Amino acid sequence: MQKVRLKWVKNRGLDHIIARTTSIRASCLLLDHLARLPSSSPVPARSLARLQKPLGLTVPVLRFLRRHPTLFAETPHPRFPTLPSFSLTPASHLLVGRAARASAVDSHLRLARLLLLTRSKSLPLASVLPLRFDLGLPYNFAAAFPVAHPDLFAVSNNHISLSTTSHLPEDILISSLQLRHAEAIERTTYRALSRPPSSSSAPLAFPMRFPRGYGGMKKVKAWMEEFHRLPYISPYDDASGIDPESDIYEKRNIGLLHELLGLMVHKMVRRNAIRLLREELGLPHKFTRLFTRYPGIFYLSLKCKTTTVVLREGYERGKLVEQHPLAAVRDKVFYVMRTGVLYRGKGLSKLVLDEEGDVEGVLMDGDEEFHGEGMDEEADVECFGMEIVDNGHSTDDEDDERDMDD
């Protein structure tokens, strides 16, 4: 199959979504960390300063906490009044509880699918921890999942694996692309069946959303037609008998990465996190080129001083096409964050949320209510994971710029 060399094109809309999600990540991990601490006294900011690098903050933790007073309440320390200390606001407590309930919906199945994508059906905990926010896993998943689902997970030697007696749901081995194709067949009309088949509407074709100008290029159309004609191999099937240098194996890798990104709550993931899974997933050493070679499926971004991969089909007009309940809760976290930024210097008194976690309004000095949308995101926060130390938070390779052009 002859491959076409395409130039990388920046997508400002997706870059904005990445910046917003990066800020949400840092806030959610801080909320989770504070919620697990004893609530008898506020936490001094200097004890949280060590989290700046794990969170990926480009500003001091104290400045970040003060920037969002609707999430983090600054109160005097009981013994040292001049020591800046913080605790969760009532709105934060509600959002943390809502996030925990939303995470419990299907987070164990997401982890099970991730393990099924690997060769050994097992992963080191150090490789899963950077994906905890992306998969929507609870903080103590390594201890809670084997207890709650003993027939599904087992943990030993700092590895989490599928239990030998696993009773998996029947549809868990069906990829999202296969499931979408099956649903499309059910909705097929008689008029569609009467049309002659074409490669552009071939079964199991990846949805393509090319940057402006690429979709109409004849050489790109011919290349994608040839690509779609290759047989589709489910990422859950054994691919050990396929030549790693063949075009079929490359399409298998595209399907695997497509499925991996589809498991993420926000349909995006850091490239550093994928690198930790590379050998178990059977990806080539320079797997970044797969993203730049297929810009109609993936978008590779260098926003927030890291490399992030987004599944293009996951977003439509700046919003998730299929929003997970946890993503809806995190959107409310973002709203509360931005409200604190807007009104932190204007006499903010409190944020009112109902029992379901919906924002009712912000009470200001003078009983003024705010119901507007948040302003554009300040891309000043980058986060990789709360529990991973330096080796998981490495900088991107020097060949990132060259990969963008490959």
Which residues, in sequence order, are CB contacts of 222 under 8 Å at separation 6+?
none
Whether this prediction's pTM lies above 0.95 is answered by no
Q: What are phi and psi of 301, to 5 degrees?
A: -125, 145
Residue matched to tokens 């060769």: 119
Closest CA to 291 of 318, 321, 268, 265: 268
The domains located in the chain, with CATH, are 17-97+325-344 (1.10.10)
The answer to whether residues 299 and 240 touch, using CB atoms and an 8 Å cutoff, is: no
Closest CA to 61 of 107, 14, 29: 29
Closest CA to 302 of 20, 15, 52: 15
Please count the CA atoms within 13 angstroms of the CA of 167 that sit on its side-chain side: 3
Longest dimension (CA), the chain: 79
What letter would DSSP give residue 381? B
> What residues in the chain have per-residue pLDDT under 50?
190, 192-202, 349, 352, 355-357, 359-398, 401, 405-406
Read off the pLDDT of residues 184-227 as tens digits, 9 standing for 90 and up: 777 655 454 444 444 334 457 899 888 876 756 788 888 888 99
Residue matched to tokens 């992030």: 308
Task: Reduce the DSSP state of residue 24 to 3 states and report it.
Answer: helix
Average pLDDT over the chain reads 80
What is the pLDDT at residue 285? 93
- Give the amino acid at 324: H
Dist CA 99 CA 333 (whole Å): 10
Q: Token digits for 378?
A: 């300040």
What is the pLDDT at residue 4? 74
| Alpha helix stretches (DSSP H) within 68-160 | 90-103, 107-117, 125-128, 132-135, 141-148
What is the pLDDT at residue 266? 97
Q: How many CB atoms within 10 Å of residue 298?
A: 21
Which residues, in sequence order, are CB contacts of 368 under 8 Å at separation 6+?
none
